[in-house]
Amino acid sequence: MDLPLVLERTAGRSLNEQLTLQLRAAMRDGRLTAGERLPSSRAMAASLGVSRTVVMEAYSQLYAEGWLDGRHGSGTYVAQIVTVESWRVPHPDPQLVRETPRVNGVDLRAGVPWVAALDTPAWRRAWRRAAEVSPAARPDPLGLPGLRAELGAYMRRSRGVAAAPDQIMVTRGATSGFDLLVAAVLRPGDRVGVEEPGYARARSILRARGAQLVPCPVDEHGLIVDALPGDLTMVYTTPSHQYPLGGVLPMPRRQALVAWAARTGALIVEDDYDGEFRYDVAPLPALYGLDPDRVVYLGTTAKILAPDVGVGWLVARPELVEAISVRRLELSDRTPVVPQEAVRLLLARGDLDRHVRRMRAEYARRRAATVAALSGLPLWGDTAGLHLVVELAQEAVVRVERQAAERGVLLDSLTRHYAGEPTMHGLVIGYAGAGPAEIRTGCALVREWAPARADGRPPGGPGPVARGSASSGSPPPASPVR
Ligand SMILES: Cc1ncc(COP(=O)(O)O)c(C=O)c1O
């Protein structure tokens, strides 16, 4: 790198700030271009006559802002970003010039898996072969028997769910399975508990089928079981990774939940939409195993493969499955045969398990990049799933959203996940579909507009943990199939 850099010990700014500013300016005005390699921190420190820590701090700030990219083991490079000369955005303080790089289309909304990773020979082979399947004149409303058998084995090894084929129905996804269940068992006016905040599509399904919604509070561990009213017909819950706050329901609460259902006669709906992804600790098996008579389990390929696949599954006691399949025929609902056969082939050849293992390791890296880029801010739900929540003051959310929209960064506010008045504010950050540079760029924007207080908490917000990059920053090794 042939760039004049001058650091002065009397300049009123720390040495690492001066270095950060000068490197950022060089990248902004094109003296350093995308893909260019920066000297190692050791070499840079030696040439500037400063300590290596100064250089490492400057590099890590520029990484966090998305200006730099690291290729594993091979150095530090200027990231592929679209920079705009003297990029400025309005700010209440006109003295402040915002220097976050402009990016095109960073999508950090929740619920997006990394679909590009599916373009593999195994994926293409499964769909080619699936297209050769013979269509049935009278399709089984429970789905292809071969797929149900594979799903039974998959759920047993990956989620600890033991279900016979007559307890498994192939659906078009978790929400479509939920809709069939609701259509089959609820009467208009039945009171149904939903997590608050919770999954908006589950609420709209319930509203559309005439149920009365009862928002049930959650905390950082998930559903607060002690607060459940006794007069619910059903409660919809996401115990593996509460949507959206991310709590993993602890065992005592799971036991209390099934005891509550046994006492009140309510049905528990377990939406296990991303239960395959848990990072630092061993996964808890699905809640279903604690009471297969009272829990209805919903699974999906939406996160482990892609939302487009359109295949999910529902597990319940046999007479409930029978009642749902009768209602399903009335509604003319079915899962197309080719996607069913493709998923069967992916399961039978071990390709789906391999993909989940690969994605778990990759998502752990993306999660670590997100946690590192947001370190010091109160984070919720970063031990599992494909998203986490950063708790912020409401004004900060509004500011970040405005700036994000201007810079082409798509973010998801926590507010829309509440049925009623929000009791907490923040952003739901989906990190699975974004690469490390995109994650750093999006998170730099959050940081820029939402500085943490000294205690790491935003004004008024009792976040569960202010996470540093060190504690959870390193991805675990790819774990074996459970
Ligand atoms: C809580 C929850 N359930 C289910 C799904 C996906 O369901 P489906 O399989 O219907 O696409 C999502 C996707 O974002 C989700 O967030």
Tens digits of per-residue pLDDT, 390-444? Answer: 999 999 999 898 888 888 899 999 999 999 999 999 999 999 999 989 999 999 9
CATH number of the domain that residue 431 is part of = 3.90.1150.10
Q: Are residues 38 and 180 in the same domain?
A: no
For residue 234, what are the β-bridge partners?
192, 267
Strand 234-237 and strand 191-196: pairing? parallel
* Number of domains into which the chain is organized: 3
According to DSSP, residue 287 is labeled G
Segment 96-121 mean pLDDT: 74
- Cβ contact 334:328 at 8 Å: yes
Compute, in angstroms, the gap from residue 306 CA to the centroid of ligand 1.
11
**Ligand 1 in reach of 236 Cβ (< 6 A):** no
Residues 428 and 406 in one domain: yes
What is d(CA 158, CA 165) in angstroms, rounded to the nearest whole number? 17
Ligand 1 atom nearest residue 176's Cα: 10
Does residue 163 contact residue 183 with C-beta atoms inside 8 Å? no
How many helices and strands, by DSSP H and E, does the chain display? 14, 18
Residue 227 lies in a domain: yes
Q: Do 50 and 168 fall within a single domain? A: no
Residue 242 near ligand 1, beta carbon < 6 Å? no
Same domain membership, residue 337 and residue 364: no
Q: What is the mean pLDDT of the chain?
A: 86
How far is Cα of residue 437 from the mean position of the Cα atoms in its chain? 17
Mean pLDDT to the nearest integer, 458-470: 42
CB 384 within 8 A of CB 431: no
Q: Is the pLDDT of residue 356 over 70?
A: yes
The reported pLDDT for the residue numbered 86 is: 30
Phi-psi map region of 248: left, alpha, beta (phi>0 left; psi -120 to 50 alpha): beta
Tokens of 155: 């759920």
- 181-235 pLDDT, tens digit each: 999 999 999 999 999 999 999 999 999 999 999 999 999 999 999 999 999 999 9
pLDDT interval class at 26 (50, 70, 90): confident
> Phi/psi at 410 (nearest 5 deg)?
-95, 120
**111: CA distance to ligand 1 center in Å?**
7
**pLDDT one-digit tens code per residue, 139-158:** 999 999 999 999 999 999 99
Does residue 111 share a domain with residue 19?
no
pLDDT of residue 64: 64
pLDDT of residue 365: 93
Out of 68, 102, 136, pick the residue that ends a domain: 102
Q: Verify that 420 and 328 share a domain, yes or no.
A: no
Asked whether residue 481 is domain-assigned, the answer is: no
What is residue 62's predicted lDDT score, i.e. its pLDDT?
A: 80
Q: Is 246 close to ligand 1, i.e. is its CB under 6 Å away?
A: no
Find out whether the beta carbon of 178 lies less than 6 Å from any atom of ligand 1.
Answer: no
Question: 149 and 93, same structural domain?
Answer: no
Q: State the CATH number of the domain containing residue 136.
A: 3.40.640.10
CB distance 19 to 68 below 8 Å: no
Task: Please state which of the ranges 65-79, 104-118, 347-361, 374-388 shows the lowest mean pLDDT.
Answer: 65-79
* Structural domain contains residue 482: no
| Phi, psi for 389 (deg, rounded to 5) | -115, 135
Q: Return the residue whose CA atom lies nearest to atom 13 of ligand 1.
A: 111
The domain boundary residue, chosen from 353, 382, 408: 353
Q: Which pLDDT score, from 0 to 100, does residue 98 have?
A: 37
Structure tokens at 395: 């004004």
Find the distance separating the first CA and the last CA of the chain, reported in whole Å: 48
Q: Once rounded to an integer, what is the mean pLDDT over residues 105-120?
A: 91
Q: Is the predicted pLDDT of residue 455 greater than 60, yes or no?
A: no
In a domain, 478, yes or no: no
The pLDDT value recorded for residue 407 is 87
Q: For the CA atoms of the chain, what is the radius of gyration? A: 25
Instruction: Tell me the best of 196, 271, 388 to mutate to test the pocket of ligand 1, counting ligand atoms within 8 Å of each CB and taking the most.
Output: 271
For ligand 1, atom 5, name the residue with the nearest CA: 273
Predicted local confidence at residue 449, as pLDDT: 78
Whether residue 386 is found in the same domain as residue 344: no
Give residue 81's pLDDT: 57
Q: Which residue has the higher pLDDT, 468 or 102?
A: 102
What pLDDT does 127 receive? 97
Banded model confidence at residue 102, pLDDT cuts 50, 70, 90: very low
Long-range contacts of residues 60-63, Cβ cutoff 8 Å, at least 24 apart: 61/16, 61/20, 62/20, 62/23, 62/24, 62/27, 63/440
pLDDT, one tens digit per residue, over 235-246 is: 999 999 999 999
Ligand 1 site, residue 173, Cβ cutoff 6 A: yes
How far is Cα 8 from Cα 134, in angstroms, rounded to an integer? 76
Distance 335 CA to ligand 1 centre (A): 16
Atom of ligand 1 nearest to the CA of 300: 9
- Residue 36: the pLDDT is 84
> Quick check: is 479 in a domain?
no
Q: Are residues 420 and 325 in the same domain?
A: no
174 lines ligand 1 (CB under 6 A): yes
Q: Are 236 and 271 in contact (CB under 8 A)?
A: yes
CATH code at position 56: 1.10.10.10
Assigned domain for 392 exists? yes
Q: Ligand 1 pocket check: which of 176, 179, 194, 199 to mutate, most ligand atoms within 8 Å of Cβ?
A: 199
- Is the CB of 111 within 6 Å of ligand 1? yes
Better-scored residue on pLDDT, 8 or 260: 260
| CA pair distance 64, 61, nearest whole angstrom | 5
C-beta of 20 in contact with ligand 1 (< 6 A)? no
Our answer on whether the CB atom of 271 is closer than 6 Å to any ligand 1 atom is yes
The pLDDT value recorded for residue 241 is 95
- Where are any strands of DSSP class E within 83-137? 106-107
Kindly report the number of other CB atoms within 10 A of residue 481's CB atom. Answer: 11
Record the pTM.
0.76
- DSSP per-residue string spanning 393-436: -HHHHHHHHHHHHHTTEE-EEGGGG-SSS-SS-EEEEE-TTS-H
Do 132 and 15 reside in the same domain of the chain? Answer: no
| 464 and 377 Cβ atoms separated by less than 8 Å | no
Residues 232, 274 contacting (CB under 8 angstroms): no
Q: Are residues 349 and 400 in the same domain?
A: no
pLDDT score at 433:
94
The residues with which 299 forms a beta bridge, in sequence order, are 313
142 and 168 Cβ atoms separated by less than 8 Å: yes
For a mutational test of ligand 1's pocket, the pick from 180, 243, 245, i.e. the residue with the most ligand atoms closer than 8 A to its C-beta, is 243
**Residue 456, in any domain of the structure:** yes
Helix residue ranges per DSSP H, 251-350: 251-264, 318-330, 337-348
Look at residue 24 and give its three-state secondary structure. helix
For residue 251, pLDDT beyond 50: yes
Residue 303 C-alpha to ligand 1 middle, in angstroms?
8
Identify which of 243, 237, 242, 272 has the alpha carbon closest to the alpha carbon of residue 256: 237
Q: Would the pLDDT of 294 be above 90?
A: yes
Average pLDDT in the 330-351 region? Answer: 97
**Domain end (from 69, 102, 135):** 102
Domain that holds residue 81: 1-102
Do 242 and 347 belong together in one domain?
Answer: yes
